[in-house]
A and B are shown apart, each in its own frame.
Chain A
């Protein structure tokens, strides 16, 4: 079956708009993806027909809303290969999912001075700062993998050792596009008794991800990068671990019983979903999963590989452009950061925007990655299932314009 990108694009209403008098060329899906009509419609239908609060109402609307919310949990679980829907915790975003683990697992493991947490130099700030804070609270030490010139994790045989308690690394870099082969890290971590978290915010939307194959203990990802709405993220964790971890946020829905003298907690996932959850957002995310499944993640990944290969080749021919990260499509996804000689990324982004080409500029919430490559900021073009080779050509033409203005 060939991937029909024109048919896919027809499902995304926003792709037909113009920006600054030019057809929209949306190359910022690593930041947030666009939503197909199917997702928008599912959320509207939920709000128009089935809105009620979940897990507490005996009335019909409450029952329908609860059933829709739990259906979405089941869809998300199946999407990442989780055998038990109760291993899926809905959060606000990936950031909250990582913070949840840093707090609750950190407390469960009773981290102390001498213990070590391992991350990497290519992490998003959301997979750095929660661990820095955990180290501050407990006296544990933060260590990290370096990054090679080619944008890969630098091997380090002694980094994960008997002092390591938690390893948390990114599955696919939001800056370099690198897809990390995490099997060795997971195996080594488990060998020394450490637990592994993977930030899958950029991988789950773009390639087939199966938690059984990955072998990690926790993964985090977010709805809005996978065609779903903002306001909903996902933590997957092994049930045996979630069930022994203390709560993170406290309030309604996460309790078993409350007296003025004390409280007992609900089992997961409710234990970690205090307060009214993002219900319509869960419905939207479920619809996004349906949409992705209908096309097939293998086919989506292949399409993005083709686009990435084309983009790498096209940008290599633009004078003064330097690509950060792997220079071939192998082991990398469709997120491409680059510099234009002598022009600040903000100026690159501004001129591209005037031509309707939407890219992200700045440090991409990954300042250490920028520092590793000796730049304060980068320009990033990121692709998805709706990206076309014509759009890559529009990017290249825009970069010619950049060189004209700043030449």
Chain B
């Protein structure tokens, strides 16, 4: 059934058992993003004083896709330097905007490859990207630019 592509076991696992969830101190930048069409919300905090993302914390309300995506983001970007994070961010955004045509690289995206199926559901791409866009904003407020990605059109 076509939903198998969307609700991968990895996504459901991250949704039911999120990693790194909860807002933590200290932090250097925070952003709150809302998806106005569905009301999903997320707050992301980053601690980046040392030049790397020593902590990324988040809290939110939303569907399995948006919440699992936040958990995967935490796994992938915590402890990374700005340029490493920018590369992974770029790869995830490209995957989501690829309409299912982009082959994900597991070495770069780890559990994030489970979101490849989401790209085939245009209505859900925004859900998956919500935490990533909030992260980008939070990082910018902490003085770290991770926006090497082309402009987000989703």
CA distance A361 to B123 in the complex (A): 12
The answer, yes or no, to whether B65 is at the interface (CB within 8 Å) is yes
Q: Pick the contact of A20 from B2, B38, B41, B65 — CB < 8 Å?
A: B2
The verdict on A347 contacting B63 (CB below 8 Å), with A354-B3, A405-B7, A406-B12 known, is: yes
**Per-position binary interface string of chain A over residues 342-368, scored 1 when its CB falls under 8 Å from any chain B CB and 0 otherwise:** 011111001100100000011100010
* Inter-chain residue pair count (beta carbon < 8 A): 50
Is B65's CB under 8 angstroms from A354's CB?
no
For B, the interface residue count at a CB cutoff of 8 angstroms equals: 20
Most chain A CB within a 10 A radius of its CB, from B7, B37, B63: B63
Is B3's CB under 8 angstroms from A351's CB?
yes
For A, the interface residue count at a CB cutoff of 8 angstroms equals: 18
CA distance A20 to B61 in the complex (A): 29
Is A363's CB under 8 angstroms from B1's CB?
no
Is A344's CB under 8 angstroms from B63's CB?
yes
**Per-position binary interface string of chain B over residues 105-130, scored 1 when its CB falls under 8 Å from any chain A CB and 0 otherwise:** 00000000000000001001001000
The answer, yes or no, to whether B140 is at the interface (CB within 8 Å) is no
Q: Is the interface of A mostly helix, strand, loop or mixed?
A: helix
Most chain B CB within a 10 A radius of its CB, from A343, A350, A370: A350
The answer, yes or no, to whether B82 is at the interface (CB within 8 Å) is no
Q: Which B residues touch A351, using CB under 8 A?
A: 3, 7
Q: How far is the CB of B22 from chain A (nearest CB, A)?
A: 18
Q: Pick the contact of B39 from A20, A343, A347, A362 — CB < 8 Å?
A: A362
**In chain A, what residue has the closest Cβ to B121?**
A350
Chain A residues 352-407 with CB under 8 Å of chain B are 354, 361-363, 367, 370, 376-377, 405-406
Shortest beta-carbon contacts, A-B, top 5: A346-B63, A344-B63, A363-B39, A354-B3, A362-B38
Other than A346-B62, A376-B39, A376-B41, give 11 A-B pairs with Cβ distance below 8 A.
A20-B2, A345-B63, A347-B7, A350-B121, A351-B3, A354-B1, A363-B39, A376-B62, A377-B38, A405-B12, A406-B12
List chain B positions with a Cβ less than 8 A from chain A: 1-3, 6-7, 12, 37-41, 61-65, 67, 121, 124, 127
